[in-house]
Amino acid sequence: MYPVVKRVLDFALAAISVVALAPLIAIIAILVYLNLGSPVTYKQQRPGLHGRPFELVKFRSMREAFGEDGQPLPNDQRMTRFGQQLRALSLDELPELWNILRGDMSIVGPRPLLMDYLPLYSERQARRHDVKPGLTGWCQVNGRNSLSWEEKFDLDIWYVENASISLDIKIIFKTFLTVLRREGISHEGDVAMPRFRGSRDGHS
């Protein structure tokens, strides 16, 4: 019953949000274009339910800049002040409402990370894909990017094991407070979360 009710709420909340926030979404798209150029959105394959890939859509928050080797420059060299503000207010995430309407994501769930991480998870960490990824989650309201990867995954698994409509509603309300307080925006020493390179506890 919970998955059915959750899907109905996801669709209803996402649809209402798209309509209510349409002017804001249009303004942000214009500002991204003026500050970072075209395209205004960033699309990338991410793992969804059971690790199945889907195309995540976000507003761009970094400029395109490459080194002599053709590889993208480090995050701190590509991040602009405008992009930092977008991330601080989580406004770069608004296009993900489309992913929720499509059924790729939920309002609440573990954040969708990189496809490259799938073979690096321990058996327990991989359980974060037992539910759909979310626009926000238990990890995001309990430290966000200030946490270590192990702490983030522990919180994700706790959510998977305790998911309920009441918990989802609690997380949604706490998300507004977290965004307003601008808590856990970046990881120490980086403007974004550093790459996950495997768990210290192995693949047990």
pLDDT digits (tens, 9 = 90+) for 111-140: 999 999 999 999 999 999 999 999 999 999
User: Residue 71, Cβ neighbours under 10 Å: how many?
Assistant: 8
**pLDDT number for residue 70:** 67
Q: Does 193 map to a domain?
A: no
- Cβ contact 35:82 at 8 Å: yes
Distance from C-alpha of 143 to C-alpha of 151, rounded to nearest angstrom: 9
pTM (predicted TM-score): 0.86
Q: Does 204 map to a domain?
A: no
**pLDDT number for residue 202:** 47
**31: part of which helix (H) or strand (E)?**
helix 22-36
Per-residue pLDDT of 10-63, as tens digits, reads 999 999 999 999 999 999 999 999 999 999 999 999 999 999 999 999 999 887
**pLDDT number for residue 66:** 65
**pLDDT number for residue 203:** 45
Q: Does 187 map to a domain?
A: no
**pLDDT number for residue 79:** 80
**pLDDT number for residue 171:** 96
140-143: long-range contacts, CB 8 A cutoff, minimum separation 24: 140/111, 140/171, 140/175, 140/178, 140/184, 141/171, 141/174, 141/175, 141/177, 141/178, 143/183, 143/184
Q: Does 194 map to a domain?
A: no
Nearest CA-CA partner of 63 in 22, 35, 85, 27: 35
User: Residue 104, Cβ neighbours under 10 Å: how many?
Assistant: 21
Task: Report the number of distinct structural domains present in the chain.
Answer: 1
- Cβ contact 192:75 at 8 Å: yes
Q: Does 191 map to a domain?
A: no
Q: Does 190 map to a domain?
A: no
Q: Does 55 map to a domain?
A: yes
Q: Does 137 map to a domain?
A: yes
Per-residue pLDDT of 164-193, as tens digits, reads 999 999 999 999 888 877 665 544 445 567
User: Residue 120, Cβ neighbours under 10 Å: how many?
Assistant: 16
**pLDDT number for residue 145:** 74
- Cβ contact 197:167 at 8 Å: no
DSSP state of 69: T
Per-residue pLDDT of 63-106, as tens digits, reads 776 676 767 666 667 788 898 889 888 899 999 999 999 999 99
Structural domain containing residue 22: 2-181
Token pair, residue 103, equals 């059924």
- The predicted model gives 158-169 an average pLDDT of 96
Angle at alpha carbon of residue 30, lines to 58 and 144, rounded to 5°: 35
